[in-house]
Structures are given as C-alpha cells and as structure tokens.
C-alpha cells in the first residue's frame, strides 16, 4: 500500500455537483493498493498515519500527531499512486489492484483508520470521478509505502 499524506487546513471531495466529504485541520490521505497488500500493511500504515508527528507544537516544531491535534481525516482511493512511468509517456497501472481486490482492502483500511484514530473519518467514493480540493498546510506532503518499512 502506498499513501500520500497531506497536512491540510481544509479539504473536501466533490462527486458530480455534490460535496461528499469536508474537513478543517487534519490530513488528506490518498491510498493506492496493489495485489500483494494485506491486513498487516493496513495495520502498519494506520498506526504510522495517526502517530506521524507532522503538526506544529507551541514552538512551531513538527512534533504533534493527528491524535494530539484531534484533527480530521479524509481518505481517498487513488490507483494512480502505483503508476509506472518507466517506459514511454503513458503511465501503466498494471501494478494497481483491480477493484475485486482493492475495494475490500480500501474499506478495511478506512475501518482500521477510524478505529486507530478513535473517531469517524470521511472518504471519497472508490472508482468515482472526484474533485479533491485542499489547502496544503506548510506545505507538508509525506509519501509512505508499506513495502518499504526499513
């Protein structure tokens, strides 16, 4: 699993003309899934995300987590995170898991992230054409791949 985590002062997801998710201070988490991903990847990533110290403390040092802040999270599926651009100019998405594998893992990720955070999170809609709006605070953007833990 690969995530792009963005610290935001606000973020929202729009599908069609309807806003389906909206948060203030918190994290926008984009998630990409491959066939080899499993529940161990989910547990490790969820713990990493909620404990990641990327929010400023009273000395303006990135020393607080989303748990410390009591902030919100939006999680959005994004298969393009596993794009291969090795050959040519058209990205290949062959590594990205197909919906029959990716949807249950995405849903389990959302469930586990809510449990680990201790409150509900908001989401986009798997496979939908979404418009994601955000104000990246910092800017702070972190990329984590559960297959590169060491």
Q: Indicate which residue of 6, 55, 79, 116 is catalytic.
A: 79
Rg of the chain over CA atoms, in angstroms? 15
Q: Indicate which residue of 6, 55, 78, 122 is catalytic.
A: 78
Annotated active-site residue 80? The verdict is yes
- For 50-82, letters b (16+ CB in 10 Å) and e give bebebbbeeeeeeebbbbeeebbbbbbbbbebb
Annotated active-site residue 123? The verdict is no
CA–CA separation, 93 vs 75, rounded Å?
20
The residues assigned a catalytic role are 78-80
């Amino acid at each position: 699993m690969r995530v792009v985590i963005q610290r935001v002062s606000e973020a929202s997801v729009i599908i069609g003309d309807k806003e389906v998710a909206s948060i203030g201070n918190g994290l926008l988490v984009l998630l990409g899934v491959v066939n080899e991903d499993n529940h161990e990847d989910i547990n490790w990533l969820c713990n990493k995300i909620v404990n990641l110290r990327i929010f400023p403390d009273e000395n303006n040092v990135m020393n607080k987590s989303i748990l410390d802040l009591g902030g919100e999270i939006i999680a959005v599926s994004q298969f393009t995170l596993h794009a291969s651009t090795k050959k040519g100019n058209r990205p290949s998405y062959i590594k990205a898991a197909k919906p029959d594998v990716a949807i249950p893992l995405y849903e389990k990720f959302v469930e586990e992230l809510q449990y680990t955070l201790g409150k509900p999170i908001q989401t986009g809609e798997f496979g939908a054409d979404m418009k994601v709006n955000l104000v990246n605070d910092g800017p702070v953007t972190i990329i984590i791949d559960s297959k590169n833990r060491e």
